[in-house]
Structure 1
């Protein structure tokens, strides 16, 4: 990296905005330590993303106004972040990002009683053990791209709105019952065989892409759902969708579907992804998507037998009054 990206060039990033937030951005400076850096005591946000840090500078522990700390994309191990558990002067931290390091377990962050965002994605964590000590104030939890095998120690997160556990080794959806405020659940690239939302009805975004589903049953009561991503599974039938009247985006591409079913009354549907299935013909598509003929703006059917029909694109444009895109072809 060019030396012009060194820490001296980031001095000007310590600045006050209209809310008097003081940010020090030292991202991408290739720093091995912070010895050459001044840490103003007024700091609210410290961004150390994309450096080569292995140890925490003890001066950070004295930044009593600190609300956001990003240690993303460094070389921290479990021992390297251990001091955090005793740094009481910064216990009012709202956001802690440890994404893309070398952690093997959930670190002890129990002193942060006001934590809202906690990110330990892209590490080598094999278990969620330790989450029970994380504050129940948490609103966003990111543990994607690890080696987690079980959804556990999340029951106390009554305020949680976003849960990201994609790219792990999960086989079962469980222990979600208490997450009554959860709006987004991201579980793509796991080994889940069936949908079980444990009674939750307020989910707005759900991703189960690239799992081992053969059925989409289990969604019927999720009436708040707006975006549903089920691509790259083994689903053979569209079902349990008719009650999802708020659905705007439906992605069931790369499955084993032979018909378009159970979406005829979805009047808010805007994006429909059906590509890479086995739908044979366009004969009944107008009826199958009757409720969204006015709202649908994007439809993908490529790599289905029906996409080889004569005048395929013009047929789609004739059915959907406001269509803007058919497969990769866009219209003004």
Structure 2
């Protein structure tokens, strides 16, 4: 964070020229600041923060010969352009703008992090030359199909949450992927993940899943998020023995089962399901590393002795729902 603050001295924003009609107090001239109004004082800077600048166009960045991180979040940019000379760039953030197309990124061959989340992008494209890319953020756009990512074999993180994706596809070549976020889409089946054996975290919340499946090859998976689906049974986790966090909240689960083999499980989220049988809690007595469990808004949570019964059955817990366990 201190590194970002240091960049304030690297740019000079134009002074506001208020008129006599009351704008003097508000500081509002009614005009958007563009990148053309910005004077780069230090062309040697490696980090440039232009967030919240009301910038409408990317231009006049040619003097930045050593730039590695460029932050253009929360602006009014409609097009990715005029970045050809920034070949040293490693991180580019265009979060929350008005961009409709991924384009003009070919010269940025050293780019490792690209964030175009919260824009208006409809297709994944224009990434052909970004072979060094490690993290790609495209959440909250209008993407319907996962495609054109096969060549990004160095990718370790892919964020595609909050789009309009119906199928997990075309990511078989991303064997180095560790974090995959696909929450809040329209996915009805877990598939196409068998080659992602290095995956540590998989997020599929708020989709249209009816069963847990397609995870057999994900032997290194540590975090699995499946909340807000239509899942009725905990199953098919036999090979996911490294799971530490399992989130199946807000589904249609009636029984806690098939988790005894998850010896590393630390967090289990099962709130807002249909669990009523107290015998289910006894099945967790073998999960000695379990520290946090969420069971609120299940039928068994209506029991006046709800917390006490859980603490007696699982005395090593440190948190039940949102409340820490206090023992005397």
TM-score normalised to the size of structure 2?
A: 0.88
The answer for the alignment partner of 1:249 in structure 2 is: 245
Structure-2 separation of matches of 1:24 and 1:317: 57
Structure-2 separation of matches of 1:12 and 1:77: 26
The answer for the alignment partner of 1:13 in structure 2 is: 6
The answer for the alignment partner of 1:82 in structure 2 is: 81
The answer for the alignment partner of 1:162 in structure 2 is: 157
Tell me, yes or no, if the aligned pair for 1:48 and 1:71 is still in contact at 8 Å.
yes
Tell me, yes or no, if the aligned pair for 2:281 and 2:310 is still in contact at 8 Å.
no
Matches within 5 A, 1:94-173: 94-131=90-127, 133-173=128-168
SS at match of 2:255: coil
The answer for the alignment partner of 1:39 in structure 2 is: 41
Tell me, yes or no, if the aligned pair for 1:25 and 1:48 is still in contact at 8 Å.
no
1:312 is aligned to 2:306: yes
Q: What CA deviation, in whole Å up to 9, does each residue of 1:231-289 have, x standing for no partner?
A: 000011111113211111110000011111211111111110001111121113222x2
The answer for the alignment partner of 1:186 in structure 2 is: 181
Q: What CA deviation, in whole Å up to 9, does each residue of 1:290-311 have, x standing for no partner?
A: 431x211111111111112342
Instruction: After TM superposition, give the deviation of residue 107 of structure 1 in Å.
Output: 2.1
Instruction: After TM superposition, give the deviation of residue 321 of structure 1 in Å.
Output: 3.0
Change (3 A) 1:171 1:36: closer
Instruction: After TM superposition, give the deviation of residue 129 of structure 1 in Å.
Output: 2.5
Structure-1 separation of matches of 2:110 and 2:138: 19
Tell me, yes or no, if the aligned pair for 2:293 and 2:321 is still in contact at 8 Å.
yes
Change (3 A) 1:213 1:61: same
The answer for the alignment partner of 2:21 in structure 1 is: none
SS at match of 2:70: strand
Tell me, yes or no, if the aligned pair for 1:13 and 1:24 is still in contact at 8 Å.
no
The answer for the alignment partner of 1:63 in structure 2 is: 64
What are the ranges of 5 or more consecutive residues in structure 2 without an aligned counterpart? Answer: 17-27
Structure-1 separation of matches of 2:263 and 2:66: 48
Tell me, yes or no, if the aligned pair for 2:103 and 2:125 is still in contact at 8 Å.
no
The answer for the alignment partner of 1:5 in structure 2 is: none
Compare 222-231 and 305-314 and name the one that shifted more: 305-314
Q: CA RMSD in A?
A: 2.2
The answer for the alignment partner of 2:20 in structure 1 is: none
Instruction: After TM superposition, give the deviation of residue 14 of structure 1 in Å.
Output: 4.1
4+ residue stretches of structure 1 with deviation over 6 A? 22-26
Instruction: After TM superposition, give the deviation of residue 317 of structure 1 in Å.
Output: 1.0
What are the ranges of 5 or more consecutive residues in structure 1 without an aligned counterpart? Answer: 1-10, 16-21
The answer for the alignment partner of 1:280 in structure 2 is: 276
Structure-1 separation of matches of 2:281 and 2:227: 20
Tell me, yes or no, if the aligned pair for 1:265 and 1:290 is still in contact at 8 Å.
no
